[in-house]
Amino acid sequence: MGLLVETYGQGGQPGAAQQILSEALFTVQQTGERNYEAELHRLQGELHLMGRAERPGPAEAAFHRALEAARNQQARSLELRAAVSLGRLWQRQGRRLEAHRLLVEIYAPFSSGLDTQDVQDARTLLQELASGC
C-alpha cells in the first residue's frame, strides 16, 4: 500500500494517494503490523506538503510521527528517510541549523550502505545545509 501511495502521489493523484494511505494507517492500527508504519507517516507528510505547502504544520507532525515509529523499531534507514523529509521542510522554513543538527545525529552512525539512495539523499542535504549554516 505504501508503494501505491507513493506512486499516486508522484503521479499527481494526491486524492487517490490519501485514500490508500488512510486505509493503510487504519490497517496498522487494527492489526498492529507496524513494519512499514514509519514510511506511511512520512508519505502522509509529503502528501500534506503537496496540497497545503503554505500550512506545513500537519506535514511536520507526520514527519515527527515517522521518526518516532522508526526509532521505536530501530529502523535506521526509515529514520534517516524521515529525517531527510523533515530536514527539507525545515530548510524551506529557514530552520537550517535545526535541520543540520537532526541529520548529523541520524546520519553519523551509518558506516555501511553508503551507496543507498537514502544515505546519498541525506549526504546531499547535509552538504546543502552546511553551506548555508
Cell of 118: 537514502
Class of the CATH-defined domain 2-132: mainly alpha
DSSP 95: -
Is residue 127 over pLDDT 90?
yes
Domain boundaries, the chain: 2-132
Report the percentage of the chain scoring pLDDT > 90.
71
CA angle 13, 16, 17 (to 5 degrees): 80
What residue type is assigned to position 122 of the chain?
Answer: A
Residue pLDDT, tens place only, 107-117: 999 887 788 99
Task: Kindly tell me if the per-residue pLDDT of 133 is higher than 60.
Answer: no
Q: Which helix (H) or strand (E) holds 124?
A: helix 117-132
Half-sphere exposure of 114 (CA within 13 A, CB side): 6
CB 126 within 8 Å of CB 103: yes
